């Protein structure tokens, strides 16, 4: 059963009075509970694809469908690179915001909020405001809020890109632990090959603009994975090099097309 189906999706934008093809012939099937990473050169349309799935942009052509199993749940939640926390709300209020907006029962809001604050290690900091938090803590708030809202799918746009390496590893582990518990379907954009190898069931590689899916790589290494295991595995090293060469080629191709 596919949770997300994308069929022959195309997207054009008008830039300086000209049509620009940003996404071309994108067809993707994502199973329920899959963790899929999108990896591709800068400007290839990853964020545009996520924004289309979030309902923030319309496709120029093609179809998307997200299976809405429980109509009480929101269809999707999005987590951005820059923290999407609301500055005048405490940590706790930020996490419970979506649930309150949907008028969920008070007990359920408390339960969900406490559970996810615990999962991301923020229970002690529940009364703090975003200006009192580090970058890593703010991203934890965003992740807790996204999962607490119990969406059908999670869309994550480079959520850890601005974090230092240590914080990144800790948040990746926390995210995987929550994902395994909730069995949510996740579509995750990253520029980091290591991150994609650590997190993914599948990596979708995109070409330079106009963005097309040019490889669909299953990552079969057993979980839980640590970055040390990923680096020590010969299979993963080969996949890393394959992706690296692909990105290198695409970036060169994009540069020569621009000159």
Of 168 and 225, nearer to ligand ATP (C-beta) is 168
Tokens, residue 158: 């480079």
Is 59 a binding residue for ligand ATP by CB under 6 A? The answer is no
Of 82 and 111, nearer to ligand ATP (C-beta) is 82
Is 21 a binding residue for ligand ATP by CB under 6 A? The answer is no
CB of 14 to ligand ATP, least distance (A): 7
Of 15 and 259, nearer to ligand ATP (C-beta) is 15
Backbone angles phi, psi at 229, to 5 degrees: -65, -40
Tokens 């954009």 belong to 189
Of 15 and 103, nearer to ligand ATP (C-beta) is 15
**DSSP H helices in the chain:** 46-53, 91-101, 106-119, 135-148, 165-182, 193-199, 227-232, 234-258
Among 27, 42, 65, 238, binds ligand ATP (CB under 6 A): 42
Among 22, 120, 137, 203, binds ligand ATP (CB under 6 A): 22
Helix (H) or strand (E) holding 17: none
Tokens, residue 224: 């839980």
CB of 156 to ligand ATP, least distance (A): 12
Question: Do residues 160 and 195 touch, judged by C-beta distance below 8 A?
Answer: yes
For the stretch 39-50, what's the b/e string if a residue is b when 16 or more beta carbons lie within 10 angstroms of its beta carbon?
A: bbbeebbbbbbb
Window 185-224: contact mask with ligand ATP (x via CB under 6 A): ------------------------x---------------
Is 255 a binding residue for ligand ATP by CB under 6 A? The answer is no
Tokens 């923290």 belong to 83
Of 41 and 151, nearer to ligand ATP (C-beta) is 41
Contacts with ligand ATP, residue ranges (CB under 6 A): 13, 15, 22, 40, 42-48, 209
């Amino acid at each position: 059963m596919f949770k997300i189906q994308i069929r022959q999706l195309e997207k054009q934008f008008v830039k300086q009075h000209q049509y620009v093809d940003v996404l071309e012939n994108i067809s993707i099937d994502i199973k329920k509970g899959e963790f899929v990473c999108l990896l591709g050169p800068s400007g290839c349309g990853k964020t545009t694809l996520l924004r289309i799935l979030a309902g923030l942009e319309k496709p120029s052509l093609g179809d998307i469908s997200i299976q809405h199993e429980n109509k009480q749940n929101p269809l999707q939640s999005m987590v951005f690179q820059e923290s999407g926390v609301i500055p005048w709300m405490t940590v706790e209020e930020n996490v419970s915001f979506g649930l309150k907006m949907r008028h969920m029962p008070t007990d359920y809001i408390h339960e969900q909020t406490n559970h996810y604050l615990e999962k991301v290690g923020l229970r002690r900091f529940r009364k703090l405001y975003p200006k009192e938090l580090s970058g890593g803590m703010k991203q934890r708030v965003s992740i807790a809020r996204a999962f607490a809202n119990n969406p059908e799918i999670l869309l994550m746009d480079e959520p850890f890109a601005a974090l230092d390496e240590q914080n990144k590893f800790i948040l990746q582990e926390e995210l995987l632990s929550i994902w395994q518990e909730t069995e949510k379907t996740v579509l995750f954009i990253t520029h980091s090959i290591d991150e994609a190898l650590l997190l993914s069931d599948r990596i979708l590689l995109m070409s330079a603009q106009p963005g097309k899916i040019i490889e669909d790589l299953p990552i079969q290494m057993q979980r839980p994975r640590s970055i040390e295991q990923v680096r020590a595995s010969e299979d993963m090293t080969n996949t890393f090099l394959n992706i690296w060469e692909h990105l290198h080629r695409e970036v060169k191709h994009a540069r020569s097309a621009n000159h």
